[in-house]
Chain A
Amino acid sequence: MKRSGSLTWLLWLIPLVFLLFFFYQPLLAIFRQVFSERFNQGWQFFSWAQITRPLLFTLWQAFLSTLLTLIVGLPAAYLFARFEFAGRKWLHTLSLLPFILPTVVVATAFNTLIGPRGWLNLILMDLLNLSNPPVNLLNSLPAILLAHVFYNTSIIIRMVGNSLTRLNPHYDEAARVLNAKPWQAFREVSLPLLMPSILGASLLVFLFDFTSFGVVLMLGGPQYATVEVEIYTQAMSRFNLPMAGLLSMIQLVVTFLITLAQNRLKNPRFGKAVLSSEQKTRQQPVNMRQKIFVILMCLLLVVLFVSPILSLVSRSLVTFEAARGERGEFETGFTTRYYTELFQNRTGSIFYANPLAAIRNSLVYSVLTMLIATSLGLLSAYALSRSGKLTRWMEPFFMLPLGASAVILGLGFLITFNNPPWTSGRFPILIPIAHSLIALPFVVRTILPAIQGIPHSLREAARVMGAKPWKVIREIDLPILLRAVIVSLAFSFTISLGEFGASSFLANARTPTIPVTIFRYISQPGALNYGQALAMSTLLLLTSAAGSLLIEKIRLPGEELF
């Protein structure tokens, strides 16, 4: 026992030191600066409304987004957990894609779909013979909500769906035998059992919506600012650092409270007894009602997940010239020009990166992130799997990077790591480190349940038979954990691939990543540049999709992703 005690300390130590050094240290450094006298001129505009306005809006839109996500996600989770139908697997995989898509791509995709000259408006204008776009969704609250539903539905599908598949059907059957109607059985028996996972999933969705940045900035327009957007504006544009610091502290506190609440929800009384390992609960839809449900849900999910992506891909392959003098009439034609143009450095610019080089830069950072985040996540998850009071308080500590403002952390990085070897401009090692901080909470959430799921009896049996601790780990834990580890690898890989903020902040401009090049194309006027941004987004989409497929292919049977 003593030995495993010292082992626990080692497990704690490595990820703890990493977090203290690369997360808490820069965060504290920037807070110290922010509230120093040097920057206090920002206070001249201080008013409480500057805090309450973004805070209330953030809470309000997060609440609405979560509600909408539940409305779409719960029936979808039920669909995937209970029914077998053609294309089920395909659709299930697809629903994960938005979650790992970078916001630049999502915003661009939504623009090509619901923008003033997006497909939706073009089709409506053509059908109804209108000269102006009838749907004006961009720069509005609905656009933000729509994007949040698009992003987070997969969380509900996976978390609640998992509990649904593991829900022991005998309970339901027992209720039915006792003459309960199907709805009654669901409400009285299944729903209370599912409640912890529904609440847990909702809190996570709420947290993501609460800290949302890119989507709000790009689709919401200037009238709508979440706390995170306001932090960015205050810090980078208004240079009001005290305000940015204050807002980011508030965001951290809210994040801490949410993760703490989520931690409390993992009530051990549920779980073990009632949620058995995966049940064969899926069946073909039998009666008319079930068939209609399956068809309608599939339709909804296809529209939600496929249309923005399809719209992006198609616009990257279609030229789109307005006939002279005739608005509303457009000549369209197939083209691969945007793709071939990606390979040309027309102006001979030093910052030009051919798409292969950009993909290579991205892959180098992604692979490093994958290795750092997964090994640290594995250690953290082992440490967190030990029961005890300390562990309960430690989990939010590991989850806090989820709620840290990217711009505050980024500035913290810049003032903390401003000497060699960190500043060696040719290879910014800080990028994979920053990406690992972002990926770590996800990795821990993936591996922790898998570790907790290893039956104690197995380890005991091995020990009784004289196996040394490391042998227990190698022979029992590792084979069981292998798939969770692979999922984590793929997850951290794709998160790093799509990350834009830290990469643009810390990168040497001569070695840009894919998201950075997308941003470069879209920030220049000219039809070709816009087309190239779409083409590059499509390439990123394909790379992310490959990672996403990998995750699904090796899905754990009892996996609980979050």
Chain B
Amino acid sequence: MTKKHFLLLTLILFVLAACQPTTPTTPAAQPQTLTIMTHDSFSVSEELVRKFEAENNATLVFIQGGDAGSALNRLILTSVDTQTPEADVFYGLDNTFLSRALDQDLFEAYQPASLSAIPAEFKLDPTFKVVPIDYGDVCINYDKAWFAENNLELPASLQDLAKPEYSGLLVVENPATSSPGLAFMMATIAEFGETSWLEWWQAMKDNKVVVVSDWETAYYTNFSGSSGKGPQPMVVSYASSPAAELIYAETELSESPTASLVNPGMCWRQVEFAGILKNTPNRALAEKFIDFLLSKEFQEDVPMQMFVFPVLPEAILPEGFVLASQTPETVSSLDPALIAANRDIWVNDWTNLMLK
């Protein structure tokens, strides 16, 4: 009996091994390996990667180190005391963590020629140790059907959300453990100011705002507009999530079941950067990879892969993406230096107020 099982197991294993696409036979020169560390949401077309690999005789290895914050923390920790960094390039540093990364002196400056085509608003690092690649807006998504059915006006501002008619209708993520949660907290600080933002959160707490640990739970368990069909009709997510609902719908929909609240003061813009890590033995190849990230090809690949917007203005966006994504006219922002000095204190204060 047992022998049979193991034979079966071995057989399955062999069949599965046979399914593996055969690796190309040895090229003329051993390809150079470039390691890119990034966060879990990073993605890119296989076609583009293969093309880059073929053109540069390179092998790209991607390491996904958790969400944006975790990936950076991991990078900082592993770059201690080591001559060679864990990776050659880091992708996915956002503006809330920008100053922490720059303080730690993790990157080597590189100013690609193509950067001139990028609008100045994205170039937040004057030293060019990191360059902007994409951006996205963290906004509140709402369930269209729920609001229509309950005949409820949409909240026009963050202030509105504290009103009794919206009691218990919003789910947010814990900023200590979630990157959209942190971004939304930043939006509230930008909107209400450093001194009184916690008053709004206190009002929200009294108005039964629901707090969960991560985006997955908020979106799929609590939000009523997703296929999880949860109890809250509003969730902190991305302005591009409605586009994803449309593109990944089970049956073809004419419009997205969700939309974003994009009034002034309600959204936070996350700009994502990439940079070459200090002491990389593959500097030349790393430069080519940064050029590749800013190329029109990659920039046009960004929306469908990661549901964020390219920083390159001339990149053409796919139709479905344009249809359901809303872009807020004005977005909140804070001085990176102010964020650097206070981020941990803010998160601590928030945790003390909301979770204790």
Contacts and interface: CB of A to CB of B under 8 A. Distances in A.
Interface residues of B, number: 80
Interface string B61-87: 111111001100110111011101010
Interface residues of A, number: 77
A223 B46 contact: no
Contacts of A531: 227, 250
Interface in B214-252: 215-217, 219-222, 224, 226-231, 237, 241, 244-245, 247-251
Nearest to B21: A357
A239 B5 CA distance: 47
Contacts of A326: 149
A11 interface: no
Interface string B20-64: 100000000000010100001101111111000000000101111
Given A426-B61, A526-B247, A527-B227, A486 B2 contact: yes
Interface stretch (A94-102, A163-171, A301-309, A516-524): A516-524
Interface in A298-357: 319-322, 324-327, 330, 335, 337, 345, 347-352, 356-357
A473 B176 CA distance: 55
B145 A325 contact: yes
B120 interface: no
A535 interface: no
A116 interface: yes
B46 A115 contact: no
A450 B237 CA distance: 54
B62 A525 contact: no
Contacts of A414: 74, 77-78, 86
Contacts of A423: 86
A250 interface: no
B355 A527 contact: no
A241 B247 contact: no
Contact of B62 (A241, A351, A357): A351
B218 to A, nearest CB: 10
Interface in A208-230: 217-218, 221-223
Interface stretch (B11-19, B124-132, B189-197, B327-335): B11-19
Contacts of A508: 61-63
A363 interface: yes
A377 to B, nearest CB: 18
B276 to A, nearest CB: 18
A232 to B, nearest CB: 9
Interface in B98-118: 100
Contacts of A40: none
A322 B251 contact: no
B304 to A, nearest CB: 5
Contacts, number: 206
B45 A350 contact: yes
Nearest to A53: B356
B348 interface: yes
B212 A139 contact: yes
A233 B177 CA distance: 6
Contacts of A486: 2
A547 to B, nearest CB: 9
A469 interface: no
Residue among A115, A350, A529 with max Cβ neighbours from chain B (10 Å) = A350
B86 to A, nearest CB: 6
A554 B77 CA distance: 46
Residue among A236, A411, A423 with max Cβ neighbours from chain B (10 Å) = A236
Given A238-B176, A345-B46, A360 B61 contact: no
Contact of A117 (B76, B146, B213, B230): B230
Residue among B33, B228, B229, B231 with max Cβ neighbours from chain A (10 Å) = B229
A67 to B, nearest CB: 26
B152 interface: no
A61 to B, nearest CB: 16
Contacts of A357: 19-20
A231 to B, nearest CB: 13
Contact of A553 (B2, B69, B176, B230): B2
A369 B172 CA distance: 40
Given A222-B212, A241-B77, A337-B250, A504 B222 contact: no
A63 B250 CA distance: 44
A221 B217 contact: yes
Contact of A418 (B17, B70, B84): B84
Given A418-B82, A550-B2, 16 more contacts: A132-B231, A222-B213, A237-B70, A237-B176, A238-B344, A239-B69, A320-B229, A349-B43, A357-B19, A360-B13, A414-B86, A425-B61, A425-B63, A504-B40, A525-B241, A526-B249
Interface of B: 1-2, 5, 12-13, 16-17, 19-20, 33, 35, 40-41, 43-49, 59, 61-66, 69-70, 73-74, 76-78, 80-82, 84, 86, 100, 145-146, 148-149, 174, 176-177, 211-213, 215-217, 219-222, 224, 226-231, 237, 241, 244-245, 247-251, 304-305, 307, 344, 347-348, 355
Q: Give the 3 A-B residue pairs with the shortest CB-CB distance, closest first.
A: A526-B248, A425-B61, A527-B227
